[in-house]
A and B are shown apart, each in its own frame.
Chain A
Amino acid sequence: MTDQQKDILIAKMLESPASLSAYEVEMIIGDEELRDIYDASSRVDSALHPMPSIDVDAEWNRFKARISRKRFALGRVLRVAAAVAAVMLVAVSVILRVERFEYVKAEPESSAHNPGARSVSKVVKDSHNLLVAVENDLQAEAPRRSVASLKKQPETNVKVVEEANGEPIDIDEYLRVQQARIDNDLALCAAEVYEDQYNQIRPMLDAFDDDYSDLDNTIQSVIMQ
């Protein structure tokens, strides 16, 4: 590098370093004298850098906004986690109920303590008995019909289920009741999670509400004067 090139580079480095190209930066870093002059320039800039006027009130409001954004982001994470936990809870609950339903269908005698399960197995048995009885009747008294055509109307021939309290209840109604119980459990779990989360952040919300209220009152009093 010639002295003239060096002088040009030094002038550019001192006046407008932001305009230096990547190549010029490499030239500066690679030359000891240029690098030392850059270091001196950097130290002078640190010692004399123009300071912006600091509006403490504005800076405090900026800081509060930053804290609020951080708390909102954390709250959002908690809400998502709570929603995921609630969905998983419902899924597990449904799986457990379905498994119990399947178990009772396979082993009706072993579910003697569960009135609901006993009722479902009774439905299966009664449906079969009813179909057989109807078929026999039809064979005896009426022109022959195919059992398949009778079985096309299963809904009207399905025997009602008996609960442990003796009140008859339709199988569809039973399933609707169970679904309603699941929905209710889900809603209660979600409500508990949201309540816990709200209680955790409530002291901080109250503290900032007081500060905002004080600031607002101060502004109002200044305006009124």
Chain B
Amino acid sequence: MSYTASEFETLYRQFFPSAMRLAMSMLHDENEARDAAQEVFVRMWESEGAIDNPAGFVMRSVRNTCISRIRHLDIRDKVHQRIMLEAPPDDCDIEQMNQATRAAMDRLLTNRERQMVEKVYSEGLSYKEAAVSLGVTVSAVNKNLVAAMKKLRNHFKNIEI
């Protein structure tokens, strides 16, 4: 162990929230995300030498830990959690990818579509709850969401090409 207990506590309190948020965005499950983030800090605690850039180390390690877990997941488990089927490459910046997705949504989706995507994905509402919240039918929610996903699908495919 290269840190004193109080030094390590300071590091933990400073970097754990961002580590947890990154793990949540990748694993979509609070307990799994917490376990993955803590695993990184356990390794820091047990490391023999001091780490030069703890912030960078934490974020890289959390990303790699989550990618490793995703690779070992069954396809059904991935789909059930809406986790990406293909693990991102090792040099992929997850936060940058998320920012690009949000930017694409702002640019390509109508206000209605964006509203419904927020209700279902960000607030975690069911179609029925979203419909009640927005004063529309369930069918309208479905239609707008499908349209939104198809637009984004075309956008991401064009980027790859």
Contact surface of A with B, Cβ cutoff 8 Å: 7, 10-11, 13-18, 20, 22, 25, 28-29, 33, 35-52, 54, 56, 59-60, 62-63, 66-67, 70, 204, 207-208, 210-211
Verify if B54 is at the interface (C-beta below 8 Å from A): no
Question: Secondary structure of the B side of the interface?
Answer: helix
When the two chains form the complex, which single residue of B16, B102, B123, B152 contacts A50, counting CB atoms closer than 8 Å? B123
B109-124 vs A, CB cutoff 8 Å, 1 = contact: the mask equals 0000000011011111
Q: Which residues of B contact A25 (CB under 8 A)?
A: 75-76, 79
| Residues of chain B at interface, number, CB under 8 A | 55
Can you name 28 A-B residue pairings with CB atoms under 8 Å? Answer: A15-B120, A20-B76, A22-B76, A25-B75, A25-B76, A36-B153, A37-B153, A39-B84, A39-B85, A40-B153, A43-B97, A43-B98, A43-B101, A43-B152, A44-B101, A45-B121, A46-B25, A46-B28, A47-B97, A48-B121, A49-B28, A49-B122, A59-B12, A60-B16, A63-B12, A63-B16, A63-B41, A207-B4
Number of A-B contacts (CB under 8 A): 141
Given A11-B142, A63-B41, A67-B45, A42 contacting B82 (CB threshold 8 A): yes
Contact surface of B with A, Cβ cutoff 8 Å: 1, 4-6, 9, 12-13, 16-17, 20-21, 24-26, 28, 30, 34, 38, 41-42, 45, 75-76, 79-85, 94, 97-99, 101-102, 105, 117-118, 120-124, 126-127, 142, 145-146, 149-150, 152-153, 156-157
